[in-house]
Structure 1
Amino acid sequence: MPEISLTVLVLLCLAAAVAGWIDAVVGGGGLLLLPAMLLGLPHVSAAHILGTNKAVAIVGTTGAAVTYARRAPVDVGTAVRIGVMALAGSMTGAFFAAGISSATLRPVIMVVLLGVAAFVLLRPAFGRERAGGPVGRRRTVLAIVLVGGGIGFYDGLFGPGTGTFLVLGLTAVLHLDLVTASATAKIVNVCTNAGALAMFAYQGTVLWQLAGLMAVFNLVGGTLGARMALSKGSEFVRGVLLVVVFSLVAKLAFDQWTA
């Protein structure tokens, strides 16, 4: 592990905790954790930053997924099937990523996110209540292909906001409330994170000691976030969702401006 001052270490652990909380509620914790690690560890390669981030995130995501699965009406089987498809989509997206310019994608994603924000604001009932009755086979297949495959492909190709897109996609396609969608998204995230972490570990680009320490804080944040989302309900998740969406738009705009 590289030499890290106590101040930087404390700040990274706090960032891991807050990122875990954000991830558990609505996704998007990487918006905080990755920049924090890049700033705090300027002499560490990007590959090691990404690998260490995955090792941290999978712990908090797993903790949140377990908390949700115990207390929310999650169809674990469907979530795992979507997760496996998302893993395949992510690997495919990563294969094509080298030929795609992120500068080209940023404006497109910003427009999509602003459209999502407008939709959520104009449709106050979106994600507040789960549709009655079991989810049909057609919608399940649609979720596996479009949400799992499509968003997984985006995750491998570009990445920012994947957790948020998963929550929105699951809410729209499966007609879930936002809390159940967040719970399902966590299980999908565990699958995709596991695949990515395996690749980073194989390449030797994980700082395991640092990841282990930060993962403890990420786990605490993720567990607290899941419990808060469960106790406060969909309206709370909706508010956090809008904050994360606008934050993501601001970050992408800043990246585009400074590119």
Structure 2
Amino acid sequence: MTDPRFFCSPAQIVLGPDLSLELPEGPGRHAARVLRLEAGDGLVLFDGQGGEYPARIERVTKDRVQVRIGAHRAVERESSLDLTLIQALQGGDKMDFTLQKAVELGVRRFQPVASRRSVVRLDGERAAKRLDHWQGVAVAACEQCGRNRIPQVLPVQALEQALAREAAEAAAPEAAAGGAQALRLVLLPEAAVPLTALPPPAGPVVFLVGAEGGLAPEESAAALAAGFTPVRLGPRILRTETAGLAAVAAMQALWGDFREE
């Protein structure tokens, strides 16, 4: 059984071997009350900036856990694919599930967008609270899957804003000068090209998935105008919480982590 992993912000981890620190309140409570760790048990700390620190518990007092930290280990478990998932807002807890699994599958950036067929509407304080919650979901997923870098969870945008940003980046001077252009894909059931027909990307991949009712026709047209290539995944129409994750897994099998070296 592997040692449990806990995220601590860079300011909370004192850099350097053989130093003692107290776990932050949240990780400390989880270690003491949920996992029931005791003095002498091992664990791993990471600060989201890369690498990790082995540690051993010195003392547990209620919710307070004192650990002795070891030397930094330059361990990386990031995907070779630089992948951004643009996901239309989903109802219920589907966004949590999609984000959690996307982190496990190696997505580096997660952009939630409000589309015309999204059943959830977020703005102002609600959007800020949901963003904080999603960031917590991403951290917990990294603790579970072994990633030492926290993916970006970007603030909710209107789909039109996200498409405008992608179009601007595609037209930027550095892109025109021959830099590695992002491969921008949109999942459409009527697309003629299967994902498997595409060549391996030379640069980042940006993948757009609609909400429960898919993208509205005008949104699909806007995505194509912004430089997105329509692709499909097999003969069946997938639910929104299935589609993005299936596509990311397929990309990892075709071009990334799942290939045999």
Q: Which has the higher contact order (CA 8 A, sep 6+)?
A: 1
Q: If you compute each CA radius of gyration, which structure gives the higher value, 1 or 2? A: 2
- What TM-score do you get using the length of structure 1 for normalisation? 0.26
TM-score (norm 2): 0.26
More strand by share: 2
